[in-house]
Amino acid sequence: MSKRDYYEVLDVARDASERDIKKAYKRLAMKYHPDRNPGDKEAEAKFKEVKEAYEILTDADKRAAYDQFGHAGVDPSRGAGGFGGGNGADFSDIFGDVFGDIFGGGRRGGHRQPARGSDLRYNLELSLEEAVRGVNRELRIPTLATCDLCGGSGAKKGTSATTCGTCHGSGQVQMRQGFFAVQQTCPTCHGRGKIIKEPCSKCHGDGRMEKSKTLSVKIPAGVDTGDRIRLAGEGEAGEFGAPAGDLYVQVTVREHPIFVRDGNNLYCEVPISFAKAALGGEVEVPTLEGKVSLKIPPETQTGRMFRLRGKGVKSVRSHAVGDLLCKVVMETPVNLSERQKELLREFEDTLSGGGKHSPKAEGWFDGVKKFFQDLNS
């Protein structure tokens, strides 16, 4: 009998992402899982079909070969042996894999313990002021939480899981092939040693449910982009009573219209007029704590950096406080009146006839003159 198209089996588009494929696989695997369909041979066959399609489409090389050549380009068989008596698929191996994929557990090495819940990540964006001073934030987190009806056991209220009749609670079975005996994960209980005969009506035997929870998180003062805050036990609930995972809050600080942060220091540009740069004076400079007065000495050149100590950011890891570095930028006046232009021309005339007023320009022109002399020599 010809095989169905793998994309059709998983009910996904041919350009589906690996994440979409895995999501479809988990949904179908849960639907046709033997624990949900005891004694149903048709469900068992569909379960194996879904597993085979998943293994091909999540392997980049196999998927490429399948897309080009179809079933002829891949060989999903696992070799002879197993419970099927030579049908090319080791049934216990398939069961162990899907149990691990759905519930996050392993499938080898004896009685399998319920897996710890997955860690979660939450991306939190803050303003510079919030990052510097610290803030309390309410976070809404979608997660897998312990089922409140069965308490995470997965069994119907008033019932409990029973010892597996196949492995008698050990989680392992032995298979004999000639002179050899091979120990494998029990295909009935998947290594747990227990069977849920009557699944919980609310979580359908999983022990966990999708749920959103709200957490109040204190963000410490001084955090910066790339910092991560760990909230222990606030991740996904573990399976069947296992410990929950952790929640990691990943911090990103938005760009600020005035300040640029570099570690614990802050930088900003302060525009000053030509007259103030030449004659000196005072300008008001913003800080995160309010305005301060910055003294500009006479003959200040554009680009000069002034340091205001202790006006930066307090480190989240120590008590050290950074500085605020202010770069003064001389601003050329615009929209001049005719009288203002005339005054500037008169002023320019008073500066001609020597380099004592513009030593940098004089030195630069001397360097250019020497450059051309050397070039022509």
The string of pLDDT tens digits covering residues 120-146 is: 999 999 999 999 999 999 999 988 898
Mean pLDDT of 93-110: 40
Mean pLDDT of 243-268: 93
Closest CA to 128 of 290, 256, 312: 256
- Per-residue confidence (pLDDT) for residue 40, from 0 to 100: 87
Count of other CB atoms within 10 angstroms of residue 123: 9
Convert the pLDDT of each residue in 247-258 to its tens digit. 999 999 999 999
Mean pLDDT of 36-60: 88
pTM, two decimals, is 0.57
Residues at the binding site are: 147, 150, 164, 167, 186, 189, 200, 203
* Region of poorest pLDDT, from 157-161, 320-324, 327-331: 157-161
Residue 265, judged by CB atoms within 10 A of its CB (0-12, 13-18, 19+), counts as middle
Whether residue 175 contacts residue 242, with contact meaning beta carbons closer than 8 Å, is answered with: no
- Per-residue confidence (pLDDT) for residue 2, from 0 to 100: 63
* Region of poorest pLDDT, from 73-87, 152-166, 303-317: 73-87
**Pick the residue with more confidence: 138 or 180?**
138
Residue 174 has pLDDT above 90, yes or no: no
Q: Where residue 186 falls among pLDDT bands split at 50, 70, 90?
A: confident
Residues at the binding site for Zn(2+) are: 147, 150, 164, 167, 186, 189, 200, 203
The CATH class, in words, for 260-334 is mainly beta
| 11 DSSP assignment | T
**Pick the residue with more confidence: 236 or 67?**
236
Mean pLDDT of 171-180: 72
**Pick the residue with more confidence: 112 or 153?**
153
The per-residue pLDDT of the chain, averaged, comes to 82
Whether residue 315 contacts residue 264, with contact meaning beta carbons closer than 8 Å, is answered with: yes
Could you write out the DSSP letters of every residue in 218-287?
Answer: EEPTT--TT-EEEETT-SPPPGGGPPP--EEEEEEEPP-SS-EEETTEEEEEEEEEHHHHHH-EEEEEEE
- Per-residue confidence (pLDDT) for residue 82, from 0 to 100: 34
Query: Which superfamily is assigned to 116-150+207-254 in CATH?
Result: Urease metallochaperone UreE, N-terminal domain (2.60.260.20)
- Strand 120-126 with 194-195, pairing: unpaired
- Per-residue confidence (pLDDT) for residue 1, from 0 to 100: 52
CA distance 255 to 149: 46
Residue 114 has pLDDT above 50, yes or no: yes
* Region of poorest pLDDT, from 60-69, 87-96, 190-199, 351-360: 87-96
Whether residue 161 contacts residue 194, with contact meaning beta carbons closer than 8 Å, is answered with: yes
Q: Where residue 112 falls among pLDDT bands split at 50, 70, 90?
A: low
Given phi > 0 = left and psi -120 to 50 = alpha, else beta, which region is 281? left
Q: Where residue 97 falls among pLDDT bands split at 50, 70, 90?
A: very low
